Homo-oligomer: A and B are copies of this chain.
């Protein structure tokens, strides 16, 4: 039984394509209650991009600070209730930001038509009704959130995505100019999310010719961007990173993430660590699972003088480590892919705790 996956409906790519957003959403303005909701990374509040938002008087704009924590089920439920209470069902949701903002936009687009708390829908195909029109505009590249069938939420019980075909964006606008001003550390961490997606996608039982072709090209682009003689934050590399992120996401769509993401989810759920950063923290110590990938990752870290903290675990309690290991252990699909269907015979909670103690 092979996956039947939903793709992005429409894609525009190119420098300056953000200027086309108003025209692109215009035909959808007559849907539902006739207003658009913009969900924008708070970073852009007061910046030039704010003035370029194609906002009409009837629209609502939320600037959201994603720094304090990953998107939560509670946050989505409150935002959904607020939107519906103010002007009813919107015509569409436009998310402008990084992976967190795009996940918020995806979740809200689903939750405005699905009743109850978003905690009810964390998992595969639990959403009951199609959501509304939603658009993703990445302003930092690497998470693959622009193309994925999932929108990851941290809930009281689990960190898990709302995953179904209606999660996928109806439209993405890929304008490399928008990622030009990303701070260097985050340019690195988020780009490494793409690189790690590819390594994990390739190294597991669900890898196949489709996933492999996407991963191979995405990794080639990552090497140009982070290792090549022309590496660094240049216009040409911004173009490449936007494509690499998309391709890494498409590789994953047809394969699966692995151990790094399982560990990273533990770090985010229990310590509130941001996803791309926690991926880097974890991947750095997974050479026994991904020897070539981790070796190349370390070259990239060195080339860009990135400092990844060591010895973090000495400040964690045994309870925290056990809790993180349990979060990881529950991510059955990741371990299945990376280790095999018999992974529970090979990997114990104690083994996973030992990985956390390395960090």
Contact B9 A4 (CB under 8 A): no
Contact A239 B208 (CB under 8 A): yes
Contact B2 A12 (CB under 8 A): yes
- What's the number of copies of this chain in the assembled complex? 2
Interface string of A1-29 (1 = CB under 8 A from B): 11111111111111011001000100000
Partner of A7, one of B11, B24, B244: B11
* Listed stretches A40-48, A209-217, A259-267; interface member: A209-217
Partner of A20, one of B2, B171, B208, B210: B2
Partner of A242, one of B3, B11, B14, B209: B209
Contact B247 A213 (CB under 8 A): yes
Docked pose: A278 CA to B177 CA in angstroms: 41
Partner of A6, one of B10, B213, B221, B254: B10
Interface residues of A (CB under 8 A from B): 1-14, 16-17, 20, 24, 165, 171, 174, 176, 208-210, 213-214, 216-217, 220-221, 236, 239-240, 242-244, 247, 254
| Chain B contacts for A209, CB-based, 8 A | 13, 176, 236, 239-240, 242-243
| A240 closest partner in B (C-beta) | B209
Docked pose: A8 CA to B9 CA in angstroms: 7
Query: With contacts A216-B217, A239-B209, A243-B213 known, is A12 near B3, CB below 8 A?
Result: yes
Ranked 10 nearest A-B pairs via Cβ? A209-B239, A2-B14, A217-B217, A4-B12, A7-B7, A2-B17, A13-B210, A213-B243, A2-B12, A209-B243
A249 to chain B, nearest CB (A): 13
| Chain B contacts for A6, CB-based, 8 A | 9-10
| Chain B contacts for A11, CB-based, 8 A | 4-5, 7
Docked pose: A127 CA to B178 CA in angstroms: 34
